Amino acid sequence: MKYVLDSSVGFKWLVVEAHTMEARRLREEYRKAKHDLHSPDIYPVEIAHALTRAERQGRITPVEGKICMIDMLKILPRLHSYIPLLPRAYEISSQVRIGVYDCIYVALAEQEGCELITADYKLVKNLQPLFPFITPLTSLP
C-alpha cells in the first residue's frame, strides 16, 4: 500500500509510547516492501524536534535521543520537497485553521492520491471530515 507517513507515527518508531507497537509493525512492513511510504522533506526535522522535546521533558536521555536520531536517518520514507506543496498547504491551513506543517502532509497525500497515516488524533478529528483519506494509525489492519 502507498501511504503518506506523518511524523507522529515516525516518532513512535523510535520512542516507546501509546501505539508504538502499531507504528513499528508499519515500519517492519515498509522494510519488507509491503508498503510504499512517502513524507514531505520536513519529516526528519519534525522528528528531530520531537526527540529534543522528549529530552527536555525527561522522557528520553540525550544519549537515547542521539541513538534515535541515528536510527531515524537509517530508515526514512521517500521524501518529497515541501516547496511545491506549500501553496496547497497554505490554502488548507487558512481554510480550516490548522497549522501549515500538518497541512503539508495533507497536501502530499492529496497529491499522491493515497491515505495519510497519523497518530495525531486531533488532526484526525479536525480534518478527516474534509479529507477522508486521513487515517488513524490504529485503524490500520
Tens-place pLDDT, residues 12-34: 999 999 999 999 999 999 999 99
Structural domains of the chain sorted by starting position, each given as residue range(s) with its CATH number in brackets: 2-136 (3.40.50.1010)
Cell numbers describing residue 114:
493515497
Gap between the Cα atoms of 34 and 128, Å rounded? 25
Q: How confident is the prediction for the chain on average, in pLDDT?
A: 97
Judge whether residue 62 has pLDDT over 90.
yes
Q: How confident is the model at residue 76 (pLDDT cuts 50, 70, 90)?
A: very high
Percent of the chain with pLDDT over 90: 99
Residue 12: count other Cβ atoms within 10 Å of its Cβ.
22
Q: What residues contact 120, with CB distance under 8 A and at least 6 apart?
A: 6, 8, 102
Burial class, 69, CB count within 10 angstroms (exposed 0-12 / middle 13-18 / buried 19+): middle
3-state helix, strand, coil in the chain (%, to 5): 60, 15, 25
User: What pLDDT score was predicted for residue 43?
Assistant: 98
For the residues 67-87, what does the mean pLDDT come to?
97
Q: What residues contact 131, with CB distance under 8 A and at least 6 apart?
A: 106, 109, 110, 116
User: What pLDDT score was predicted for residue 141?
Assistant: 86
pTM equals 0.95
For the residues 87-99, what does the mean pLDDT come to?
96
